[in-house]
Structure 1
Amino acid sequence: MMPLLTLGPVLFNWPADRWRDFYFRMADEAPLDTVILGEIVCHKRAPFFADAMEAVVARLTAAGKEVWFASPILAGNDRERAAMRDVVTNGLLPVEANDMGALALLAGQPHAVGPFINTYNEATLAWLAGRGAMSVSLPAELPASSVAVLAKAGAALGLAVEVQVFGRAPLAISARCYHARAHGLHKDGCQFVCGNDPDGMPVKTLDGQSFLTVNGTQTLSHGYLCLAGEMERLAAMGVSRFRLSPQAVDMVAVAAAFRAVLAGQRDGRDVAAELGRLVEAPLENGFFHNLAGAAYAAEA
């Protein structure tokens, strides 16, 4: 199978026109195979770009991209559960499930499983495949040994296995909004302060060391996960889909660089060095190498 390049959903609270124009540019300029759309972090943000959704889907589809809707990561009340059901039962586009509730609604239907569902072993992978999953995006914290086992199991099941290779690593989601609390606000009266941080709000330890990134109710890594140097190894394991998570950087350049690695036109280590100069936070690949997640190990 030819390796595929996926763009995950925008995780951050971008203004509607920026969100729309980002996806228009992805449609016209980025060498992507699949684009996943949807507000998956905070349901309160979704109405802001709802009016642009149809045009974005049309532009991406016309450009030959496969388009999927993503379900929210966490549905904690009746309103959020209703929004999740609306996504899952949209009847227009295939769905990537990011919550067990969404999986229950999708049982027996073809669907994808996002990285926010804990797929840690072969039994889980087989269970997901038996319920209709066509592809599974693995959690970012898995080491290479686990990825290899799951990729082999996925191949035996006829299931595509995906790994995130760029973007801040998702670490946790909460019913509480850290962004609001940091500004002395409650979640219900947050004033959408997360929009002030288009690439997430940096968090430091008491001694001033950069530590994590906050995005509303979501916790992300401080640095940017980058597995450009490991892509040849991942492909040899049987990983067939490679995921980019949108950040407030030139994602067309990022997509082009990773496409060139997949095509054998560029060395992944050179691309990683280039990306290290493009982003403002350090690169990370520690999880893959069975190290602390924030570590960066140069691929031998």
Structure 2
Amino acid sequence: MKLTLGPVLYNWEPSTWRDFHFRIADEAPVDTVCVGEVVCSKRLPFFQDFIPEVVERLIGAGKEVLLSSLALITLERERKLTASLARESDILVEVNDITALSHLEGRPHAIGPYVNVYNESALAWLAGYGARRVCLSPELPASSIASLAKSCPEVALEVWAFGRVPLAISARCYHARLHKLTKDNCQFVCAKDPDGLATDTLDGKHFLSINGVQTLSSTYANLIEYLPDLAALGIASCRLSPQSCDMVAVAKAFRDVADGVLDPSEATRALDLVCDGMPFSDGFLNGVPGADYKSRGAVGWP
């Protein structure tokens, strides 16, 4: 089982973003790292100049690098940015908006979790177009994951295994609206919430988290107990989505479980400490409401 570190989804300070990736390069036992802006193109200029040195550092440390595209393209400059990324890069591009495929036909590329791949036909079509790896949508249950893995073994499949789950993305900016600002004059208030802004229901229950134009789960997905089962289903890699906790420690826990040197239940307890008690979830994998969380044994796996 390989491990992939997904792109940073939040608006981190540029130096924080750079130093985070430098530490991942030097210390984290991950095989692949996704770099780029997925959520809001307005954030990219702040850290864009750091991308070449981050990529160089990661490759020098033996990591594979994927360049992630935007998940929602709404403006002409975003279209041109995506076209440039796809045409000029000699690094594997991860497609998060289907329109990017028009620039990648026949070229090897990856498919990110924001492109819905729900059935065997979709996966086969993408494979024929040049997809070599696909990170599946986080809401897929184990039965669908197994069917997809069996249908197209030539494509390396990946599942979302840790971090807030992306649920929706919009042309409107929730952070800006909350602060009575417009999207065009947002003043980048999303930077105030480097792990997303929690939202509650009217009766005070944790519900979702917002990240600019993106809606995420309030919980962290945590599939560490299921790594052996996912490997048995034919999954090649698990994705860890960066949060503001110690992601090196998170990666080491997943690596130890994948390698069979740490008991999954012990790893769960370790992650609970690393994440400072953040609620976990695994409901989507088990075909129940996504925010639910039960241990592997409680749901009768396998």
Matches within 5 A, 1:75-224: 75-155=73-153, 158-224=154-220
Distance of 1:222 and 1:90 partners within structure 2: 37
Runs of at least 5 residues in structure 2 that lack an aligned partner in the other structure: 298-302
Alignment equivalent of 1:227, drawn from 223, 232, 235: 223
Matched-pair contact (CA < 8 Å) for 2:30–2:63: yes
Matched-pair contact (CA < 8 Å) for 1:5–1:34: yes
Distance of 1:74 and 1:260 partners within structure 2: 35
1:51 matched to 2:39? The reply is no
How far residue 297 of structure 1 moved from its aligned partner, in angstroms, is 1.4
Partner of 1:18: 16
How far residue 164 of structure 1 moved from its aligned partner, in angstroms, is 1.1
Runs of at least 5 residues in structure 1 that lack an aligned partner in the other structure: none
Matched-pair contact (CA < 8 Å) for 1:136–1:162: yes
1:288 matched to 2:282? The reply is no
How far residue 107 of structure 1 moved from its aligned partner, in angstroms, is 1.4
Q: Given residue 233 of structure 2, which amino acid in structure 1 is its aligned partner?
A: M
Distance of 1:277 and 1:283 partners within structure 2: 12
Distance of 2:273 and 2:292 partners within structure 1: 17
1:218-266 deviations in whole A, cap 9, x for unaligned? 0000000000011111000000111100000000000111111111111
How far residue 277 of structure 1 moved from its aligned partner, in angstroms, is 2.6
1:119-174 deviations in whole A, cap 9, x for unaligned? 0000000000000000110000011111111111131xx11010011011110000
Report the aligned-residue RMSD.
0.9
Matched-pair contact (CA < 8 Å) for 2:199–2:209: yes
How far residue 82 of structure 1 moved from its aligned partner, in angstroms, is 1.2
Matches within 5 A, 1:31-50: 31-50=29-48
Per the normalisation by structure 2, the TM-score is: 0.96
Q: Given residue 4 of structure 1, which amino acid in structure 2 is its aligned partner?
A: K
How far residue 68 of structure 1 moved from its aligned partner, in angstroms, is 1.2
How far residue 278 of structure 1 moved from its aligned partner, in angstroms, is 2.2
The percentage of counterpart residues that share the same residue type is 53
SS of residue matched to 2:184: helix
Partner of 2:300: none
Distance of 1:49 and 1:274 partners within structure 2: 32
Distance of 1:60 and 1:18 partners within structure 2: 16
Partner of 1:238: 234
Per the normalisation by structure 1, the TM-score is: 0.97
How far residue 90 of structure 1 moved from its aligned partner, in angstroms, is 2.8
Q: Given residue 292 of structure 1, which amino acid in structure 2 is its aligned partner?
A: P
1:4-33 deviations in whole A, cap 9, x for unaligned? 110010000000000000000000000111
Matched-pair contact (CA < 8 Å) for 2:207–2:217: yes
Runs (4+) of structure 1 exceeding 2 A deviation are: none
1:29-74 deviations in whole A, cap 9, x for unaligned? 0011111100110000000001111110111011000111011000
SS of residue matched to 1:270: helix
The answer to which of 242-251 and 102-111 deviates more is 102-111
Matched-pair contact (CA < 8 Å) for 1:43–1:83: no
Matched-pair contact (CA < 8 Å) for 1:9–1:37: yes
